[in-house]
A and B are shown apart, each in its own frame.
Chain A
Amino acid sequence: MPKKFNITNNVRTLRFFANEMTQADLAEKAGVSRQTIMAIESGKYAPTLELAFRIADAFNVSITEVFGFEAKEESK
């Protein structure tokens, strides 16, 4: 059965715990646009490894605390 892979993220939660950091602030720290942060948060865009590291660095956490990987079985 074909498997579908999903990249999950905790960006919203981490922003909350970082003194309710705004999307614009995170975007500035990661060097991307606010639109990209919005897309990542809502699962519409899976960032490259480099950007994933930069986002993790902005929160001072490891990459695995920001992004996760899940495989779900797709029904035919």
Chain B
Amino acid sequence: MTYQTKKTMVSLLASIAILISYCISVYNDISKGLTLENDATFWAKKMLIYIAIGIAINIISFIVFHILLSVNLTVKDSMKDSKEINRKLELEMVEDEMDKLIELKSLRVGYIIASTGFILGLILLAFNTSIAIVLNILFLSFFVGAIAEGISNLFFYFRGIRNA
């Protein structure tokens, strides 16, 4: 497995962890008997907190990932020279035309899912569905879109990709 696939997996796992923790948190709120159907402020605050947590988890996981990658390279190739380690790391981390093409194609998958969720939310809002459900559909569709983007990214790396 190479750097790009490992990086995608780290990002994917972080997104899944955040989504699961959000779902558990919402389930706990509902099981406590809170009536939050029309409390848009509550949901907006909760979602903003989870977006902030998501950004923090992504940054931390990438820092840990890069530390582990450097340690792995040093141990595997028994290198002691820091310049050599940095050179190897740079070679591993290079992003080329195939990576960009895969990123574009998987980004498209993510956008399709996120925009479908957005349209679904608007349709539900038009039919007087509660604001809590609409906000949750929007929030979840963005997260599911990010997860789908990661999965399609891995799929393209393993199956291969054509330019056309």
Q: Indicate the size class of the contact surface on chain B.
A: 10 to 19
A50: chain B residues at CB < 8 Å are: 97
The reply to whether A35 and B2 form a contact with Cβ atoms under 8 Å apart is yes
A8-16, A39-47, A56-64, A66-74: which lies at the interface: A39-47
Q: Is the interface of B mostly helix, strand, loop or mixed?
A: helix
The reply to whether B163 and A35 form a contact with Cβ atoms under 8 Å apart is no
How does the 8 Å CB contact mask read for A31-54 relative to B, with 1 for contact and 0 for none? Answer: 111111001001111111011000
Decide if A21 is an interface residue (CB 8 Å cutoff): no
The reply to whether B2 and A27 form a contact with Cβ atoms under 8 Å apart is no
How does the 8 Å CB contact mask read for B84-100 relative to A, with 1 for contact and 0 for none? Answer: 00000001101111110
The reply to whether B160 and A33 form a contact with Cβ atoms under 8 Å apart is no
The reply to whether B91 and A32 form a contact with Cβ atoms under 8 Å apart is no
Instruction: Please name 17 further chain A to chain B contacts, defined as beta carbons within 8 Å, in addition to the given A28-B91, A33-B94, A51-B96, sorted by A numbering.
Output: A32-B98, A33-B92, A33-B96, A34-B91, A35-B2, A35-B3, A35-B5, A35-B98, A36-B96, A36-B98, A39-B98, A42-B160, A43-B160, A47-B97, A47-B98, A48-B163, A51-B97
Closest 8 CB pairs of A and B: A44-B160, A32-B96, A35-B2, A36-B98, A33-B94, A36-B96, A45-B98, A33-B96
Chain A positions near chain B (C-beta within 8 angstroms): 24, 27-28, 31-36, 39, 42-48, 50-51
